[in-house]
Amino acid sequence: MITVDDATGILNRFSLDRRTYVELKDSFGRVLAEDIVSGIDVPSFDRSDMDGYAIRDRDLDGRRFKLVGEMHAGGDLEVAIGDGECSWVATGANIPDGANLVIPVENTEKIGDDVIVYESGKESHISERGCDMKRGEIVLRRGCIVNDRNIGILAALGIRDVPVYDAPNVAIISTGDELARINDVNSMTLSAIVAQSGGSPVFMGTVTDDISHVKQKIKEAAECDVIITSGGISSGKKDLMPIVVSELGEVLFHRVKMRPGMPMLAGVIDGKPILCMPGNVTSCLVCGHVFLPPMLRRMAHLPFAGNVRRARLSEAAVSEYGMRRYLPVKLVDGVAYPTFRGSGLITSIGYADGIVAIGEAETLREGEVDVWVL
């Protein structure tokens, strides 16, 4: 038996560095696999920030300008202005040749073909070519997560296919003859944890406690980057996973100093990690939360940080000596109420908002504790 920390450390050896391209519209939430270098100047021309009149600032002593053209956003007219001339410019329009100042329309009056300027501020109201992003500039770094703001940077550059780290494909298999009689819970709970850890769950279905069937299923699953099974890791006659993993690969650890989840096994098959969770539904969920997010988020190049909140534990709780205990709790008005009633019952964790970890030789009295919010 090894400690949770040692088990987690062993799983740290697994990484993934596969890259792919996704369409810009699908890149939200993904992790950039390359630095993004701007291929263009943004804006690609000197652009008016206001509706108004473009003039030459050296002409400002005069207050009356002759209107010689109109520039609209997206228009392809070319206007050049000279001494004492002005051109209408809409917001977003190209600045006419010769102009270097925009007078907002509200500070002007149009009289016939002339424009009178009443007030000119300090600002030019011009966004110069490249002032947003310059061609050749690194605008986003590898490892950056695409969000609702920086996706705008990618869009502004006209990037259609975004280089991202590939999400680890995670094969999920539930084992056990009992699945002929009861509903498979673990495939669903594990796939939800996989999805929120940046992985892509691949449902492989269920398999009975028949060693050749189990081996066949695992071999198929080894196409994926990670294999997760549940069931078959205790010491009963039908607990085949320790045999299967050692025959197809190597067992890295079996039995972890934790409750629930003690029978937990991990191994490696064809270089891929295989995590064998207990069949008991709450044990499986706890092991899923303890072992999957750190490993999968690292493989997905996503940051991992548990969300911890202080709360008052409603009753004293103790760990079994030498074992770390994971106590599911429901949070109500800052109080953490334990929900655990047995590792085989889904309602032991089905209504929980978080988990309180109790150290290997620790008693928590009522009072303030750290709750790991799920």
Of residues 220-279, which lie at the interface with its own copies (CB under 8 A)? 234-238, 279
Verify binding: residue 108, its own copies, rule CB under 8 A.
no
Interaction residues for its own copies, span 321-340 (CB under 8 A): 328
Residue 101, CB half-sphere, CA atoms under 13 Å: how many?
16
Beta carbons of 327 and 358 less than 8 angstroms apart: yes
* Residue in 136, 344, 359, 367 binding its own copies, rule: CB under 8 A: 344
DSSP 204-246: EEEE-S-HHHHHHHHHHHTTSSEEEEES--SSSTT--HHHHHH
Residue 260 C-beta: closest distance to its own copies, Å: 11
Verify binding: residue 356, its own copies, rule CB under 8 A.
no
* Residue in 2, 10, 67, 188 binding its own copies, rule: CB under 8 A: 188
Question: Would you say 303 or 344 has its CB closer to its own copies?
Answer: 344
- What's the CA gap between 316 and 330, in Å, rounded? 15
* Residue in 42, 262, 274, 300 binding its own copies, rule: CB under 8 A: 42
**What length is written for the chain?**
374
Beta carbons of 253 and 244 less than 8 angstroms apart: no
Segment near its own copies (CB under 8 A); pick from 12-20, 60-68, 187-195, 252-260: 187-195
Residue 148 C-beta: closest distance to its own copies, Å: 4
Beta carbons of 269 and 275 less than 8 angstroms apart: no
Residues 60-70 as b or e (16 or more Cβ within 10 Å = b): eeeeebebbbe
Q: Which uninterrupted H or E stretch holds 8?
A: helix 4-11
* Residue in 157, 202, 221, 265 binding its own copies, rule: CB under 8 A: 157
Asked, as a colleague might, if the bond just before 43 is cis with ω within 30 of 0, I would say yes
Segment near its own copies (CB under 8 A); pick from 4-12, 58-66, 141-149, 318-326: 141-149
Verify binding: residue 12, its own copies, rule CB under 8 A.
no
Segment near its own copies (CB under 8 A); pick from 108-116, 151-159, 219-227, 359-367: 151-159
Verify binding: residue 44, its own copies, rule CB under 8 A.
yes
Interaction residues for its own copies, span 121-140 (CB under 8 A): 127, 131-133, 139
* Residue in 51, 210, 320, 370 binding its own copies, rule: CB under 8 A: 51
Verify binding: residue 77, its own copies, rule CB under 8 A.
no
Segment near its own copies (CB under 8 A); pick from 95-103, 221-229, 341-349, 360-368: 341-349
Question: Would you say 2 or 145 has its CB closer to its own copies?
Answer: 145
Verify binding: residue 374, its own copies, rule CB under 8 A.
yes
- What's the CA gap between 107 and 118, in Å, rounded? 5
Asked, as a colleague might, if the bond just before 328 is cis with ω within 30 of 0, I would say no
Alpha helices in 249-345 (DSSP H): 281-299
Verify binding: residue 110, its own copies, rule CB under 8 A.
no
- What's the CA gap between 127 and 49, in Å, rounded? 7
Q: How many residues bind its own copies (CB under 8 A)?
A: 82
Verify binding: residue 302, its own copies, rule CB under 8 A.
no
Beta carbons of 166 and 20 less than 8 angstroms apart: yes
Verify binding: residue 320, its own copies, rule CB under 8 A.
no
User: Can you state the angle between helices 211-221 and 241-248, rounded to 10 degrees?
Assistant: 50
Interaction residues for its own copies, span 18-37 (CB under 8 A): 24-25, 28
